[in-house]
Structure 1
Amino acid sequence: MNTTSRDSRYKVFDKYALFSNFTALIAGLNAGYNSGVPNISQDVILECPPATTGAYFPDCLPMEPLVWGFAVGVFAIGGLIGSIGAGYITSTIGRRNTLLWNNVVFVAGGLALAMSTTTVLFVIGRLLVGIGSGVAGVAIPTYIAETSTNRMRGTMGILFESSQMLGILLAQAFCLFFNGVPGWRWLMGATIAPAAIQAVLLCFCKETPRYLIMTGRLDEAKDVLEKLRFGYDTENEFQEMLDAQRGDSSTPTSSTQLCSSNPSTCVLDSDKEYEEKTIIPCEGLKGKSLTEVTEEERQEVTVVTALRPLNILDVLRDRSLKKFSIISIILFAFQPLSGIIGIIYYSQSIFKDVFGAEKASYVTIGIAIINLVMTSVSAVIIARTGRKLLLLISASGMAVMAVTMVLASLYNIEMLVVVSCKIPNSIRWIYRVFPNIQASFFSALLYVAAFAIGMGPVTVTIIPEIMPTVAVSAVVGAATSIGWIGTFSVGLIIPTMKQYMGSYTFLVFAVINIIATIFIKMFVPNA
């Protein structure tokens, strides 16, 4: 036990906690990579000459546009499957072990993609990496929230979104160098590398203290917390964790099970004479009821409950949890419904018509850079501004930029007119590279920036702040499932919307973002 008087609740940085958090974030980078890698490599995969690079692996996998759309979109279906199962998995085998074994899914998906000889195998690979990404989307925020220091929790939570943006950026940058035959296979199989690295590093990481408390492993939880807050007194923080658990709806684990895993402590089931479940020294007490324990054996008593993790139905039945769980789920739904998928997934094909294939690739990378930079800005300022303000700025900014994009497209407004030809020398090169650039392009960039500063990264950090530990996995799983459904649905209908609505497409998303702004203002707590 730490003897220092410094309270761990006020510690800012801890090297081991940061190591654990960044190790978990590798899966986020992997998810982002798999999300972004088909964008630029599409033409090479679909349209290469009818030859083979060897006896078994064809140079290309010709697909109809609808089939290719499904092959790309099945990633979101996999994400849905992964997020649905992740809540149960993280509550059953732990957050760390979930991340560890999830790398097997990434490796299997990478092998299927890299060695694809048919469209079916390619789709299976995309499904598998989608499942891995869905699991990561639940396990990473939970792991980070339960291991990072109080002062760094918001920043580290936002870095999950940053890791995904970095993955997208790396995927698109690599495409510039390996976007050929058989380079596209290396691009698809590269997901194996971060999976292998994370699997090794996780061997040096610990399970979260809150999960260990939830499963009744109190001694281990205290040891882990002291390692995560090295040099600081953890008594108060540990007691807060116990108090949080004690206040949750739960079902106690049997004393025999808990004693077998905790030789120094034991949770004894309550009976009619005692209102609370009780933890006492376990030596020789396995299986005893409270009425069989002597007064001497009750001397070192800590009140706590060993918890059964809640599923989403349990959460929705609980009046104290229902409201905030619904708010969290709706927030996740607004992410894809904001229209960001239209720019992130289809930027290459959209800007190819404007700038040509080669320049469109650089524009796509530029969008990824802006996404990453603004997400990082959000991580820096969240502690000062708060989550709700960033969400309001984000949703309202996207609404304004959506309207601007529509107007710029309808009236073919060039950016030269907007800035009245007063162009700083520092950005004059843009107009030499992209002559007659339209205001709609800059509106799209600002649209991405608005998303990246709030709706993208902040949403995922809300749940661990407003929900008790025992309900976090269930709510994150349900919310991310809704998010994946929205991602698949919006990605599927945007081409059709563009076909029939043309330049008016983003008016729909402007309305949705206005609704999101009102919802955030009225219902989201100041977390």
Structure 2
Amino acid sequence: MSQSIGITKYQLFCVVAASAGPINFGWNFGVTNLPGDAITKCINGPAHLIGGLPSCIPTSDTIWGLVVGCFALGCLTGALASPHYSNIYGRKTVLIYSNVPAIAAAIILALAVDLAMLVLARILVGVAMGASVCTFATYVVEITTPRARNSLGAMTQFGIIFGIMLSQTTSLGLSNSPLWRVLFAMTGALSLASMAVLRSCVESPKWLAMKGHLAESREALQRLRGDADCTTEFAQIASIVSCSSSGTEMVSSNIGAGDGCPKTCSVIEVLLGRTPDNLRHQLLVAATIMLAQQASGIGGVSFFSYSLFSSVTASNPSGSTSSPTLAQILTSVMAITGTLTMPISMVLAVYFGRRPLLIISHVLMGLCCVLISVGSIVGASSLTITMVFIYFSAFMIGAGPIPWIVPSEMTPTYAVAAIGAISSCVGYVCIFAIGLAFAPLLKALGGYTFLLFGAMNILAALFFYVYLPETKDRQVAEVVSVHSVGIHSVLRAKYRIEQQKDPEL
């Protein structure tokens, strides 16, 4: 049967094509890292005009943190808007047209003459990336089988880290004046490529069925499943339409599979608990898992790894030379290391559950944070640099990819877009806060900064040990039928996934 097959060629093509959005997100996430000093501190020489545009835009670290963090504010707006538009116009349509504001932002970035233009462009490109990444996560879950999702579900984080790696390595040659403008504007080229390749992908079969386009839904499903028999799977998807036609609102466990009533729930309805199933536990876990991802300190490392490495490689400070500094080279190598670690993470996801990988990831990151602080405090730069690399790799095996997968795997179709948007927004608020506060925090606390992140990682591991249900290789209906009973500890036997929901709970 089609539900039990793995990855097909066309399914892989659609996921890879749609991952252009996360790649662009990663590009914009990391692109401000290396050229920051060239822009704000004019290290390539006094400010002057080049082709009528200023060579640099001097400002303080705090204000530059605001420019960096504004990207997350835009992402928050895009993520909140994406469920509404993807439910109306389709996942593929939103993935394609979310690139339009990114292209506009690229033009503004290339022509920026002051901080206001940089802030506007960062917010605008954030809106595009927030909508794209949030919709991508939903799209992947809706076009893949449970087996294929074990690997392809990590494509969100893989795309993001690949984009960060591209931006960091490209920045080595483009971080001076006036080439930082070219670097910032490249997001437009990525967006144009994304729009072109996405036109060859199919729309989500589940979305098509929810809109009553059964023939198109079956055709899309068959293309995604190759030669497999899709009769049973399509019948489950088609039941959405039959529910709509009968006018009944199903509240049984069937709706947990996303095969009941097709009425989609908004963000407000989910927050207020106005859903057929009790999704309080799913909402708590989805929000916390994204909060923990950013509270782990990854945002600070990604945004300001150059500053961090510079602080422990004082013998090779940044200057006005065109040659890359040791800190810049280490930043790029770290991004490459993260990219190389992601395939390992995708393999681990096939054999191990989401829960153990996430817990192990946060524990390792917590230990690394403590050792980063120790190395910084005692002046052991080699220890600090080594631990940053291990920290980044530990992030990639669990805390990086899993938060993008789990919310969709434990949430019924009618609420998956809304809960995905809520969890994404929690993450974006944290990204903004860390982008704004990390540089001043690092300056004020020095080596002690990462002790805070170490504590956050240990707390996150404890939370997931108690509350995170296992979702690997399980249908959404199974997870919903057991865990839609309000907030509870998953350690208790009666909440094991193999058991059915007890109406008395």
Q: TM-score range by the shorter chain?
A: 0.7 to 0.9
Shift in alpha-carbon separation, 1:353–1:407, aligned structure 2, 3 A:
closer
- In the other structure, the counterpart of 1:438 is 382
User: Which amino acid in the other structure matches residue 434 of structure 2?
Assistant: V
Of the three residues 3, 21, 26, the one matched with 1:32 is 26
Matched, 1:138 2:134: yes
Matched, 1:109 2:98: no
User: Which amino acid in the other structure matches residue 443 of structure 1?
Assistant: M
Shift in alpha-carbon separation, 1:305–1:220, aligned structure 2, 3 A:
farther
Within 2, Cα distance between the matches of 1:207 and 1:151? 20
Give the match's secondary structure for 1:12: coil
Within 2, Cα distance between the matches of 1:67 and 1:190? 23
- In the other structure, the counterpart of 2:485 is none
Of the three residues 66, 76, 79, the one matched with 1:80 is 76
User: Which amino acid in the other structure matches residue 215 of structure 1?
Assistant: K
Of the three residues 468, 471, 489, the one matched with 2:433 is 489
Give the match's secondary structure for 2:7: coil
User: Which amino acid in the other structure matches residue 46 of structure 2?
Assistant: P
Give the match's secondary structure for 1:50: coil
Gaps of 5+ in 1: 1-6, 253-266, 277-303, 414-436
Within 2, Cα distance between the matches of 1:324 and 1:481? 15
Of the three residues 325, 348, 351, the one matched with 1:384 is 351
Quote how far apart the aligned CAs of 1:364 are. Answer: 0.3
- In the other structure, the counterpart of 2:149 is 153
- In the other structure, the counterpart of 1:51 is 48
Cα displacement string for residues 132-152 of structure 1 (whole angstroms, at most 9, x for unaligned residues): 111122011111111123321
- In the other structure, the counterpart of 2:461 is 517
Quote how far apart the aligned CAs of 1:246 are. Answer: 8.3
Within 1, Cα distance between the matches of 2:241 and 2:211? 13
Contact 1:14 1:149 in 2 (8 A): no
Matched, 1:471 2:406: no
Matched, 1:221 2:165: no
Matched, 1:307 2:251: no
Cα displacement string for residues 391-443 of structure 1 (whole angstroms, at most 9, x for unaligned residues): 01101111111122222333334xxxxxxxxxxxxxxxxxxxxxxx4212211
User: Which amino acid in the other structure matches residue 353 of structure 1?
Assistant: S
Of the three residues 284, 308, 311, the one matched with 1:326 is 284
- In the other structure, the counterpart of 1:292 is none
- In the other structure, the counterpart of 2:186 is 190
More divergent stretch after superposition (145-154 vs 443-452): 145-154
Give the match's secondary structure for 2:399: coil
Gaps of 5+ in 2: 253-258, 319-324, 472-505
- In the other structure, the counterpart of 1:261 is none
Shift in alpha-carbon separation, 1:305–1:162, aligned structure 2, 3 A:
closer
Cα root mean square deviation, aligned: 2.2
Contact 1:44 1:180 in 2 (8 A): yes
Quote how far apart the aligned CAs of 1:160 are. Answer: 1.4
More divergent stretch after superposition (151-160 vs 308-317): 308-317
Aligned-pair identity in percent equals 29
Shift in alpha-carbon separation, 1:180–1:160, aligned structure 2, 3 A:
same
Of the three residues 310, 318, 325, the one matched with 1:352 is 310
Give the match's secondary structure for 1:345: helix
User: Which amino acid in the other structure matches residue 236 of structure 1?
Assistant: T
- In the other structure, the counterpart of 2:330 is 363
Within 2, Cα distance between the matches of 1:362 and 1:82? 33
Contact 1:333 1:486 in 2 (8 A): yes
- In the other structure, the counterpart of 1:286 is none
More divergent stretch after superposition (145-154 vs 128-137): 145-154
Of the three residues 371, 382, 406, the one matched with 1:404 is 371
Give runs of aligned pairs for residues 12-27 of structure 1, distance below 5 A: 12-27=6-21
Contact 1:374 1:449 in 2 (8 A): yes
The TM-score normalised by the length of structure 1 is 0.81
Shift in alpha-carbon separation, 1:399–1:270, aligned structure 2, 3 A:
closer
Within 2, Cα distance between the matches of 1:122 and 1:408? 35
User: Which amino acid in the other structure matches residue 88 of structure 2?
Assistant: T
- In the other structure, the counterpart of 1:256 is none
The TM-score normalised by the length of structure 2 is 0.85
More divergent stretch after superposition (114-123 vs 478-487): 114-123
More divergent stretch after superposition (222-231 vs 59-68): 59-68
More divergent stretch after superposition (199-208 vs 368-377): 368-377
Matched, 1:71 2:54: no
Matched, 1:128 2:124: yes
Within 2, Cα distance between the matches of 1:135 and 1:491? 20
Contact 2:61 2:439 in 1 (8 A): no
Quote how far apart the aligned CAs of 1:39 are. Answer: 0.6
Quote how far apart the aligned CAs of 1:212 are. Answer: 1.3
Give the match's secondary structure for 1:225: helix
Quote how far apart the aligned CAs of 1:111 are. Answer: 0.8
Within 1, Cα distance between the matches of 2:246 and 2:308? 63
